[in-house]
Structures are given as C-alpha cells and as structure tokens.
Amino acid sequence: MADKKYPITKIRNLGIIAHIDAGKTTTTEGILYRTGLKHKIGAVHEGGTTTDWMAQERERGITIVAASVTCFWKGHQINIIDTPGHIDFTAEVERSLRVLDGACVVFDGKMGVESQSETVWRQADKYGTPRICFINKINQTGGDFYKSLDTIHARLSKRAFPIHLPIGFEQSINGIVDLISMKAYTYKEFTDHEMVGAEIPADMMDQVKKYRSLLIENAVAEDETTLERYFEVGEDGLSEEEIKHAIRAAILTGKFFIVTGGDGRGVMVEKVLDLVNDYLPAPDDRDNVWGVHPKTGEEIERHNNETDPMSALAFKITSDPFVGKLAYFRVYSGKVTAGSYILNSSTGEKERIGRIVRLQADKREDVTEVGAGDIAAIVGLKGTTTGHTLCDPNNPIVLENITFPDPPVSIAIEPKTKADQEKMGIALSRLAEEDPTFRVRTDEETGQTIISGMGELHLEIIVDRMKREFTVEANIGAPQVAYRESVRKTGVEVQGKFIRQSGGRGQYGDVWLRISQNEQGAGFEFINSIKGGAVPTEYIKPVEQGIVEAMANGVIAGYPVVDVKVELYDGSYHEVDSNEMAFKIAGSMALQEGVRRAGPVLLEPVMKVVVVTPEEFMGDVIGDLNAKRGRIESMEDLTTGIKEITAFVPLGEMFGYTTNLRSSTQGRASSSMELDHYADVPNNVAEAIIAKNSK
C-alpha cells in the first residue's frame, strides 16, 4: 500500500494542534485505529500510543516531538503530524504548520479554549492554515459542546460554525445531527464501528434549523456563484453539493471554520476524517510556492505539480537508533526519487538520496518515489538541517526558511566523568541538530558548556534524552536567564579609528557610526550611507562584521546587544595601510564606544503566564505573581469555580514556579508560560545582575 501513488488532489497534509491535554494524541490514535493501522487504541496514560513513542513522552503523558503518520481513508492519503501542546516545544508546532496544508484543532470539551489553544491558533493564522475544530471529551462529565463553542467565538473567531450538533448531553451523547444532509446518526457505544441513520430528535429541530442557517448563509457569502444561487432559491433550494462547495471555498480562505464534537477514541473520528477529506485543502489548493535563485537572488515560482523542477523543504531532523539520521521533508514541486542526486541549495552541497521512507510514527516503510504535495523522510542525508531547501541540481531554488525564537533559558552542563566528556559533545551536537530552539555554546571566560532552551521542561527533557539515548551522565547548574542589552538614545555619533605602525606595512581603519535605538524586536539594522568613497566598498562588509561581533558582548554585563540601528556615514582610509582587518576592528571599537554613550540598558525576558486555578486559591496565586514583579493582565471565569489569570512576569522570577504552584494549590492549579517580550530591568535588579556577573 505504501508505494501506491495517490493523485495530488487526494492527498491531505494534516496537523493535529491543541492545548496540552486536550486529547490530540488520543484523537490521532483514534484515527489510526479507524483507518486500520492499529488493532486497538493506545492510551496515553498507559504509554501505548503510536505517535508518543519516546520514553519521556510515555512517562509524562505529553507529546514532545511532532510525529508523522501516514494513513488512508476512503481513497485519500492523509499525512498526519501530531504536534506537542506544551509551550516549551512550540517550535515543533511552528515547523509543522510551515509544511502542512490544513489542521484539526482539538479542544477539551470540559475547558473550551485554553491558553495554548490561542497560541497554536495564532500560529495557524500566521501561515493562513485552513482548519476544522474538534471539541473532544464532550461525552465526559463536565463536557459541553455549546459552552466550548462560545469560548471559540469569544477568544478565537466569531466565524466558527457547527457542521454537526451532538445528540444528548455528557454521558448520554449517542450521536450527531449532520446540518448539511439534515440526517441524524446514532450509536449505542461511542466505540462502535459505525453510526446508523436515525430521525432528528423533535426537541432539537429548532436548534438544528438555527445552526444550519448560520452555517449556510455565512459560507455562501465567501463564494459568489453560490451566493447568487442562494438569493435565487434560498437555503432549502441549494443542493448538498452546492452547500459543500461553498463551505469548502470558505474554509480554504483560512478565515472560516467548521466545528464538530465527540470523543477522540470513538466512532466520531470517522466523521472527522470525512470532514478532512471533504473540506480541508489538497496541496494543489494552496498557493504556489516562491523562492529565490541562490546565486542571482531573482524570485522563482514553483507550481504544485510533478512536471515543475523538484523543490522540497526539510522541516525536521531526527536521530533514529536503527537507521541513523532521518530528514523529514515536504515536496512542493516535481518528485524525489531514491538513488537520484539532489542539491541542498541552502549549503550548496550535492547529496545522493539513498532510502526514502514513509513513516508510521516510529515504524517506517520504504518507497521509491515521493511526488509534489507529499511528506516523507530521507535516510542518511549528511549536511541537511531544519529549514534547508532540497532541489533539482539543474534548477536551483532556495525556499523561505523557518524562523524560530531565541531560547530564553540557559543552564551550565558538565559531564560527570572524563569518559563522558567526548560523548557529551557528540550528544549535544546531535540534539542541537534535531531541535532548532536548543543551542549549545562554550563560555569563553569560564570554559563551561552552556545549553539554552525554551523553558525548564525543555532542558530537563534534553538532559534526560542525553542519559537515555547517548548514555551520558551530566551535572547541571541552576537555570540562568538570557538577558540582553540595548540602547535608549538616538543619533549618537562616534568614531572608531584603528592605527598601528610596527615596522613595514601598518594598519589603518577609520569609521564614523551613528547609533540609534531600533524598535523592540526589530533586531540589528545596518545602514550604509557612505558617499564619495570615504570608505571603499570592499571595506563596508568588514565594518559590519566588526559591529556584529562587538554586539555579542554588551558594555553593561556582557550580554548580547539587540534592537540597535547602526549607520556608517563617514570615515577615511590609507592607500597602503588600510585592509579588511583594520576596518573590522575600527567598526568593533566604534560600536562599543557608541553603545556606552547611547544610554545602554539591560533587558530581561518577560513571560506571558497563564494560570488556571480553583477560585479559592485565586488570592494566593495573584499575591504570588505580584511578589514576582508580575503585572496582572486579565482574570476570566473559565467554568464554575475555575478562574484563568493572565499575567506578564519576568522570567528570572519564574524558575520552579510550576512545582510551587502545585504545592500551594493542592495540585489543582496549572500554568503555562511563553516568551512575550523583552523589557528594561529595574535599577535595583540590574545592579544585582551586574554585581553577579563581575565576580
């Protein structure tokens, strides 16, 4: 079955995205069971799931790495990526959405929209990903389809409309009403193998008509042809095919969503699969992909078909204990064939494709060819990492890379024994290759190895993986905050002049820089305003390099300098003594002096913290956040007696917060946090940080 080729119109690249614990992995298990890939549904809490195959995932009951699974349903091939819900692994969601065509957003029917639901929704908005909504667990105590729908309208989008309504409430739910066909389908047990047709309950008819009208009138508004027909013949005059066509066209805009609900372990999953086939885009429904020529920089378009030259994006690298390095890739045009040569246009290296495998989580099947719109993995590519473009050597193109946030948390790590020293270096470089939000560096002053990640859990998992997968025992230090430095003045002019005469040929570099504060998050901007050759063209790039290198160590406490605009506007040179190195040093000297004069400030990462707590602990939680220099942004009622508090708190105050929160609320409150922005550090805190760094 694996080598049967499906036409591009019958391929669906689907992401399952949600808040932690909403039931993504369980829903994926339900899909695998219903599509015949599994004989029984694995349970997350028993560690029997397919996509959560890492030991750490099974122990903790959470998804850490996005796992890819291919399954088949009613003549369609569905490539599913089950993504993590925990904010520390948000890069997995980001890179998955970059290569997916559609998504199924899973919500916990007892909680509705949660903090991370909003984060993944925003990520999907960023990529314009069409999606359907599945409200899970509505057949459990506290599950409520309509309340959850209200939270979607309040917090995500007013343009989300039910396509099915549940029959019954909580444990009595035993089917759905399909609002397009106006038929009811019921089951005895939610684990049944099929639903049977039934009459729509009389007491639901008013509600059914109301939601059907809402769905149809909002869908036809997106499609001119159907809209004209709708005005002519009315809602009841439209055929099922016309309604389906209008809904699909609306969903493909990425701004219209359909909603269904049920139990991710149950027969309802079959209806979700039908929605995926009927309404989510095939690869050729999405826009053609654009890239640039690696040498000329000219823009190139690639069409979603197999006749255009091959282009693909590597979106994930993993180390497999059995086959070595696996590079997951999405083909945008042309086809990739085992045994052929491809060009990695991001590095300029040619590589030969050995094996291509289609993945069923941690199991794999060999295939000989993968065409446009498909997702698979290549075994053994040497120089390829996340975000690299793979293409036809005769038609080079570089596709847009995937960008990831800088990791805000660092810890020092050292091997327990001398024997572990070399193994630790190999393990860390392998893990950094897999995970673009995990960084490794050596502190030049102390010689310590510093690892950085998105949060404490992220780094904890990395250290655990080192121990299990690479048998490296390590000691770790206390978490450290990734502070930054910036400037607050604008238009500060400074000269950097480097002259050295030491017999023979000398060194001469002279530059004038204008240093200004840049917008927050805008990063470093270099402006070349040299006129009349005051600094020769060949020395401009070395000046910029010198500036960039000097920005790695700020003047307050040695942290990297960010959000600075530097204009090179004047200088001078010597016919004989000037060279690239002299101008590089001059640029570096000018930058350091300029930062000193431009009102340097220390910045700290501020986290958006969301705490869900029973009402009785609310006062304690707020008091604790205030004591941590937190700013309370909002308080909302989630359900009866449950409050959601959103606050902005400096990362330096948040280490160990999850554990402390659990112990102070008898284990009943939960929290999540994500990096929101960098802000100036108050003077008293800055003094303590500077004093600590100067020891």
pLDDT of residue 22: 76
**pLDDT score for 395:** 93
Give CA–CA dist 116/90, Å, rounded. 9
Q: What is the pLDDT of residues 42-51, one digit of tens each?
A: 444 444 444 4
What letter represents residue 321's amino acid? P
Half-sphere exposure (Cβ direction) of 322: Cα atoms closer than 13 Å = 3
The tens digit of pLDDT for each residue in 89-144 reads: 556 666 677 788 999 999 999 988 887 788 788 878 888 899 999 999 998 889 99
Determine the pLDDT at residue 445: 61
Which residues are CB-contacts of 597 (< 8 A; sequence separation ≥ 6)?
Answer: 489, 492, 494, 515
Name the segment(s) of the chain with CATH classification 3.30.230.10. 485-598
When comparing pLDDT for 402 and 352, which is higher?
352
Is the pLDDT at 208 greater than 90? The verdict is yes
User: What six digits make up the tokens of 597?
Assistant: 């004069």
| Local structure of 358: helix, strand or coil | strand
10 Å Cβ neighbour count for 172?
9
**Residue-level pLDDT at 171:** 84
The class level of CATH for 410-482 reads: alpha beta
Q: Which fold has domain 603-693?
A: Alpha-Beta Plaits (3.30.70)
> Both tokens of residue 153?
């309208």
- The whole-chain average pLDDT of the chain stands at 84
Q: Which two tokens stand for residue 21?
A: 């614990």
The token pair that represents 606 in the structure block: 């501020």
Quick one: residue 558, left, alpha or beta (phi over 0 = left, psi -120 to 50 = alpha)? left
Contact 525, 566 (CB under 8 A): yes
Length of the chain in residues, anyone? 695
Report helix angle 540-550 to 580-597, nearest 10.
50
Question: What would the 3-class secondary structure string for 295-361 be?
Answer: CCCCEEEECCCCCCCCEEEEEEEEEECCCEEEEEEEEEECEEECCCEEEECCCCEEEECCEEEEEEC
CATH number of 289-399: 2.40.30.10
Confidence of residue 60 (pLDDT cuts 50, 70, 90): very low
Rounded distance between C-alpha atoms, residue 22 and residue 105, angstroms:
10
CA pair distance 309, 304, nearest whole angstrom: 10
CA distance 609 to 618: 14
Nearest Cα residue to 676 out of 602, 611, 609: 609
Euclidean distance between CA atoms 134 and 119, whole angstroms: 17
* Res 84: pLDDT: 57
Residue-by-residue DSSP string for 365-425: EEESEEETT-EEEEE--SS--TT-EEE-TTS--EEPPPP-PPP-EEEEEEESSHHHHHHHH
Segment 140-185, tens digit of pLDDT: 889 999 999 999 998 899 999 999 999 999 888 889 999 999 999 9
Binned at pLDDT 50, 70 and 90, residue 487 comes out as very high
Whether pTM exceeds 0.85: no
Beta bridge partners of 366: 357
Write down the pLDDT at residue 333. 93
Neighbours of 65 (CB within 10 A): 21
Residue 518 DSSP symbol: P
Cα distances (angstroms) measured from residue 93 to each of 53, 206, 422, 440: 17, 40, 32, 22
- In the chain, residues under CATH classification 3.40.50.300 are 9-285
| The one-letter amino acid at 66 | A
Distance in angstroms (rounded) separating the CA atoms of residues 134 and 162:
10
Task: Tell me the three state secondary structure of residue 60.
Answer: helix
Band of residue 662 on the pLDDT scale cut at 50, 70, 90? confident
Reported CATH class of domain 9-285: alpha beta
At residue 177, what is the residue type? V
For residue 368 the two structure tokens come to: 């000989």
The answer to whether residue 287 scores a pLDDT higher than 70 is yes
The more confident residue out of 435 and 463 is 463
CATH 3.30.70.240 in the chain is located at: 603-693
Angle at 285 between CA 355 and CA 254, to 5 degrees: 115
Map residue 356 onto helix, strand or coil: strand
> Who contacts 406 (Cβ-Cβ below 8 Å, separation ≥6)?
482
Q: What is the CATH number of domain 485-598?
A: 3.30.230.10
Residue 338 has pLDDT above 60, yes or no: yes
SS3 content of the chain, % helix, strand, coil (to 5): 30, 30, 35
Residues of the chain with CATH 2.40.30.10: 289-399
- Backbone CA torsion sign across 595, 598, 599, 602: negative
Of 382, 462, 610, 357, the C-alpha closest to 65 is 462
| CB-based contacts of 647, cutoff 8 Å, min separation 6 | 608, 609, 611, 625, 630, 631, 632, 633
Between CA 624 and CA 580 the distance in angstroms is 54
